[in-house]
Amino acid sequence: MAIWQIPFFILPEESLRDYPFIDDEGLFDDSPYWLERNVTKSFFNHISSFLPQGESWSEQVIVYGNDQSHDVQIYLDVPNQKIISVSLRIDFTRDYHSLIENIIAFCINNKLTIISAENLNKVPLNIEAIISLINNSSQVKKYNMLREQ
């Protein structure tokens, strides 16, 4: 992840009853939420209407966007092509308002939710809340501090 990106997880809304799942190493693992839902990669085809499919470094990962800017990364369990993880990274040095509006609409229409990777809190699906979260994130603060040096 680049210093100018803010990371998020995208999860099925109904799967949050056991949230958050922390693995044996103390890290957040979103695969149980997706495996429970049994979703295939075609579920995310609509994302290409607002974020073009990009280059992937692995057959296990579908990338929409660019890994140096805004992107959605969809991780697959290769043998059965089921989704095991979905992440979103927003480049806060570029215009991201339209992207957020499209992601929010996609999430609402597909009963998905957004989780902040910084604190694992559920993010309200409205543009003002997400912009505020980005502007107040530790990532933006670090970036601004480095720019001032």
Q: Is the pLDDT of residue 17 over 70?
A: no
Q: What is the pLDDT of residue 32?
A: 87
Q: What is the pLDDT of residue 80?
A: 84
Tell me: the pLDDT tens digits for 48-99? 999 999 989 899 999 999 988 999 999 999 888 899 999 999 999 999 999 9
- Which residue, 111, 101, 85, 102, is CA-closest to 9? 85
Q: Which residues pair with 47 in a beta bridge?
A: none
Q: What is the pLDDT of residue 1?
A: 66
Q: Return the structure tokens found at 50.
A: 């607002």
